[in-house]
Amino acid sequence: MTAILPNPRYTIAPSGTRKNAPSLGGVSLGAAALPTDPLFYTTLELQNVVVGSRYRVTRASDGTELATGVAADTTVTLSSIPVYTNPMSVAINVRKASSDPYYKPFLTFASLVRTGASAYILQSVD
Amino acid sequence: MISINWATRVITVPKAFLTPIGGSVYTLDTDAFRLALKDIEDSVEGMAFPVTHRHNTAATLGGVTYARLIEIINGYTVTFEDDFSHYAVSLIGSNNNIADVANVNHVSIRTNNAAGLIEVATGGGGTDPTVALVLKLLRNKQVTDPATGTLTVFDDDGVTPLVSGDLFEDAAGSQRYRGQGAERRERLG
């Protein structure tokens, strides 16, 4: 069925569930969370990273990649990491082997909660 | 350059990566080889896969420098470029297991592993069955039976026969042992 909406006006207002609830010409348009949506987003801090190292953060349970990049500083702050369970275990892989000095691959784990988490990266020279 | 097929976990070494030393013989600098692998491992693509090898660097002890150790792990294998010229590759610069994980083709591989002090499984009745048997043969109860003319070595319990062999009074093996001294014993089995 085709609905004809005269003079449609589109508005977005906070709903009772803290989600934005758009309204179109008096008709509410809802957005429901899917079971696969993250519970929340949080911050993961990697400390003591050798500058130039490549890091990769994955969900420990299924290997889903959450973040990746090259460390520009000894502290790497990864914001907006999606968290699907509370707490959620993540695997942190850090490697630096493209230029001297070379480091052994480093793997550690962290538990992400609503307040985030930090991990100390202890790389050793290869 | 070195390449890795992540799906099959095959590491391919092109002939150009090798150093010719005359004839159809080439050398592979295994340290350069593993650094090339490391370089791939920390690439955007390589980060998603397990590491290819384990490395223990060269170490100096008491004035002697022991060679580095490189072990290909996680199911990776190595294929040297096969151009059907039947060339040979000498692995230099480390003790390694590259030959053990190499895929067979027309390329010959020469390892140069050298062992100084090595570790073996030891211990009284330990995990090595050969060592355990030797200890039993040396220590356990033995009976020379004049009735049957045999020598029997018993298990640790002193009851269960372990091995037995014919025993003779003369070296020629014509007179079985009768309790009057023996000159010859056959293989225990």
Residue-wise pLDDT for B55-72, tens only, equals: 999 999 999 899 999 999
pLDDT at B47: 95
Report which of residues A29 and A87 the model is more confident about.
A87
Place of tokens 């003790």: B95
Two structure tokens written together for B15: 């002939």
pTM of this prediction exceeds 0.90 = no
- Rounded distance between C-alpha atoms, residue A46 and residue A117, angstroms: 9
In the predicted structure, residue B180 carries a pLDDT above the cut 80: yes
Nearest CB to A97 within list B41, B48, B57 = B41
Chain A's closest residue to B38, CA to CA, is A97
pLDDT digits (tens, 9 = 90+) for A18-27: 555 566 666 7
ipTM of the complex in this document: 0.71
pLDDT digits (tens, 9 = 90+) for B1-10: 899 999 999 9
- Cβ pair B47:A126 closer than 8 A: no
Nearest CB to A95 within list B35, B47, B57 = B47
The one-letter amino acid code at B118 reads: I
A96 touches chain B (CB under 8 A): yes
